[in-house]
Structures are given as C-alpha cells and as structure tokens.
A and B are shown apart, each in its own frame.
Chain A
C-alpha cells in the first residue's frame, strides 16, 4: 500500500469535511468543551479572542504550545491554531504539535509585510483570509487549502464580512461571463495566476472551500453568510463574549445548517441573552482595521 500524506487533495479534503459547520475561537479547555458539546465542527485555539487583542493592543503572536496541547487533549474534533502572516517558524512549531489546520491570520500582528508563508512546504493544511478574489487566488497559489473571507475580526459587525463575500462572489461571477481571450487581462487585473483564474472561470467557484469570518455574532449573521454562498462559518469573539456562550454556540450551529429555514432561525434566535456589544467598523480608524493586513 503506497501512501501519500500532505497532498493537495488530502489538505483540501479536510476542509470539505468542515463544510456546513461552525469553527469557534476558544481560549481554554473549558471553552473548547463547550464548543464541542454545542456541535462545533472544529475549534481555533488561541490565547486572546480578536475582541481582546483589539482592546489590549500590543503585538499579537502565536499561542503558547502548552495551551494548544491542552485543548488538543480535551476535544476529539479538529483543532486549528493561528500564526502570524509570514512567520514560517511559528508555522513549523504549530505543525510539530500535530494541529489539524493552521490559520495564517491577519488577527495576529504580521511578521512579514511583503511575503506570506510558502504553504506548500508544510504537511499541515493552511487557511488564509481574503477580502477579494485576487487575494484568495494568491493565497491558494502559495498553497492555502481553504479560504475564509476576512470580515473585521473582533467587532461583532458583520458588514465587512458581507462586503468581502459580495466582492469574492461578484468577481467569480464576472469571470464566468468572460470570453476565454479576456481571461489573460482578468488575471493581470486580479494580480493572480492565469491558471487559477481560468479554473475559476470554468467552474464558477474557488478550487478550495470558502468559509466566512470576522464580525459574526448571531445565528442570523451565520445564516446570512451561508445564504451569501459561504461553505461554513468562523465565529471568533461572538460566542464567548456573549451572555450565554453554550446556548448561543448551539444556536449558531443550528442556524448554519438550517440557513434557509426562517422558522428554525426564529426558533434558535429566541432567548439567547446579550450578544457581544461590538464596535461599528466605521468607528475604527483605518490603521487599526485588521482586514487591511495581508496583500
């Protein structure tokens, strides 16, 4: 039996299994268990959720391996962890822990303002953020096996996630309507490799799974993103910065499955207690917006 590990099919296939699910940010074992019990399809282990990173400021880095290992030991669902953009040594360390997916994330302070990590170098798959199609295809070209629209993390304001999903979807639809001889210039404009542009034009979708992230705080937000064409949802600060995390987490899981059923959405939205207070993205000065990180 000849076995090949770390192939594109194996990395992208892992993301296929997460589809229709909710990936939740957790900062300790207790939260990880709440997330698993609520039906999360994976957890993102990190030391501070984006809302706290935003409030406390300073340089945000990868989490303590000890903390990640404890969460891995506590749950049976996949565990993801974040590394700084371009910080390939943080990625080597996280890979050695046996984490199931790495998020090269704009939520942490970038380590390289020019290059992202060469993700083909790793056996562990990567998810990367994108605000538009060109950015998504550049990340896929570097080896990302899953994309998430960025939104604006730690705000509880879904408007940027909406903008990014509309942009990515709109740019894909535009490609599918083009003549084949126009795709060369489209690739130039998108600043993305021609082969990937052609593939998207032919299939009408990204070659990898597309989740959405950044500002999702309610079951309705999750369903909104699913109706916009997301394959699944990341919820960062939205759950554990709310009044009743266990209840809200379960409600978001149900809303992500029954995103087209308003009756179910109404049922799961009842009596959830306080949502995270949130910040309007418009009130955040541009230099402090996380979605601007990455290129």
Chain B
C-alpha cells in the first residue's frame, strides 16, 4: 500500500520511517499529484497553524477535505489530530482544519512544554508507552466517534470511520501498534 505523509512541516520523517517499518511504501506529500497517488494519508506532528497555512497556500486544503469526505483513510498525530477535528478550542482566530472527525479539541491542553510527558496508556485494549508534547486532548465527542484511549480523563485517541487521531506521538517511539492498527484495521478494512 502507498501511504502518503503530509510533508509540509513537522516530524513527517518519523511517520515515513514508521510506515516503511510496517511494510508499506511511504510517499512524502507536498502536491495534489502526490496526494492523488496514495491509498492513505498520515498528518504528522508539528505546528497545526503552520501546516494548515501551507496546505492552503499550495492548494492542498480543499483536495484533502474532499478525500476525507469520500471516506479516504487518514491518521493524524498531535497537530494531525487538531487538523482532523471539526472544532478547535484555543486556536488562533479563524484557524481552519481539514475536519472530518466530530470532536472538539483543545490545543496545548496538557500545558506548555515543561508539562510535556511520556506515559503508559491503554490503546485499543493494550498497554502502550508513548509521548505527549504540548499535546491537545478531546474536549467533546460526537455520537459517531469511538474513543480508543484516554488520559487525564479526556480522550486522546479517537476513531470515526476511516479517520484515526491521537494526541500523542507513536512515531517517536519504537512501538508500531498505532500505525499497525491504522494500516490493518482501517485501511485494509476498506
């Protein structure tokens, strides 16, 4: 499977590596042509404001929204979760998202960088050691959204249809269970 990783800003190289370690072919996506060549898309960690501005400037915002509406599989970590959320608290004025998951996220919900942490959480019923960096959490969940993990009494991993979002960074640790879940449970099931 060809897996696109949106490569505008952030830790896209780690998602590229995670993808190839799971046995799939990663493609860095910066153009519509590259987007149209892949079977699934990953939105990396980074600065959500920077990524959405670049996506808008280079004509990727609407094509990605269209893909999402058509049921295309997309996974977003951290900034990627913000980009997949239908609604944001504490964004900058008029901050846009690709949307698609019926959730409200709070940016930097756990605090500033000094509050960033690593921790053991449950993901899809299994223990996972992972990293939260200036991470968002989910403030409100719509009816069609499945919660896969929680931390500090808030959802931190959610799925709606073929869309998956985590507020943590599985790409920064060696554990590939979240990527495998995306490829095996979501992409292949389509």
Q: Which positions in A face B, CB cutoff 8 Å?
A: 1-7, 9-10, 13-14, 16-21, 36-42, 75-78, 95, 98-101, 123-125, 250, 253-254, 256-258, 261
| Beta-carbon contact of A98 and B172 below 8 Å | no
Kindly state whether residue B53 has any CB partner on chain A within 8 Å: yes
Interface residue from B46, B108, B169 paired with A19 (Cβ < 8 Å): B46
| Beta-carbon contact of A3 and B118 below 8 Å | yes
Q: Which positions in B face A, CB cutoff 8 Å?
A: 7-14, 30, 45-47, 49-50, 53-54, 57-58, 78-79, 90-92, 107-108, 111-121, 131, 133-134, 151-152, 169, 172-173
A264 to chain B, nearest CB (A): 8
How many inter-chain contacts with C-beta < 8 Å in the A-B complex?
Answer: 130
| Beta-carbon contact of B47 and A14 below 8 Å | no
State the CA gap A123–B91 with chains docked (Å): 26
| Beta-carbon contact of A19 and B117 below 8 Å | no
Residues of B within 8 A of A123 (CB): 114
State the CA gap A41–B48 with chains docked (Å): 9
| Beta-carbon contact of B131 and A10 below 8 Å | yes
B7 to chain A, nearest CB (A): 7
Interface residue from B12, B49, B57, B117 paired with A20 (Cβ < 8 Å): B12
Interface residue from A4, A20, A37, A98 paired with B46 (Cβ < 8 Å): A20
| Beta-carbon contact of B30 and A41 below 8 Å | no
| Beta-carbon contact of B54 and A254 below 8 Å | yes
State the CA gap A73–B151 with chains docked (Å): 26
| Beta-carbon contact of A16 and B11 below 8 Å | yes
| Beta-carbon contact of B134 and A78 below 8 Å | yes
State the CA gap A42–B46 with chains docked (Å): 10
A98, closest chain B residue (CB)? B112
B26 to chain A, nearest CB (A): 16
State the CA gap A261–B8 with chains docked (Å): 13
| Beta-carbon contact of B9 and A14 below 8 Å | no
Residues of A within 8 A of B119 (CB): 1-4
Residues of A within 8 A of B45 (CB): 16-17
B13, closest chain A residue (CB)? A19
| Beta-carbon contact of A19 and B133 below 8 Å | no
B12 to chain A, nearest CB (A): 7
Known contacts A13-B133, A13-B169, A41-B46: A20-B118 contact under CB 8 Å: no
Residues of B within 8 A of A3 (CB): 117-119
B91, closest chain A residue (CB)? A76
